[in-house]
Amino acid sequence: MNRKKKIIQIQKKRAKKANAKLAPPGNKPRYISKAEREKLQESSIEQNESA
């Protein structure tokens, strides 16, 4: 690989990483662990029973 191509490739890679850092997070929801999901489900069941 010639020197010029290698330099351009490295610059593109760095620019891509910088843009990825600046970009806001997408519509991906926050991860909820299995234990937390169970707690939420139990609390919702308790609320439904008491209501």
* 16: phi then psi, degrees, rounded to nearest 5: -65, -45
Structure pTM? 0.45
Burial 6-28 (b: 16+ CB within 10 A, else e): eeeeeeeeeeeeeeeeeeeeeee
pLDDT given at position 27: 79
Q: Dump pLDDT digits (tens) for 1-51.
A: 799 999 999 999 999 999 988 887 777 788 999 999 999 999 988 888 776
> Percent helix, strand and coil across the chain, each rounded to 5?
75, 0, 25
pLDDT given at position 48: 82
pLDDT given at position 51: 63
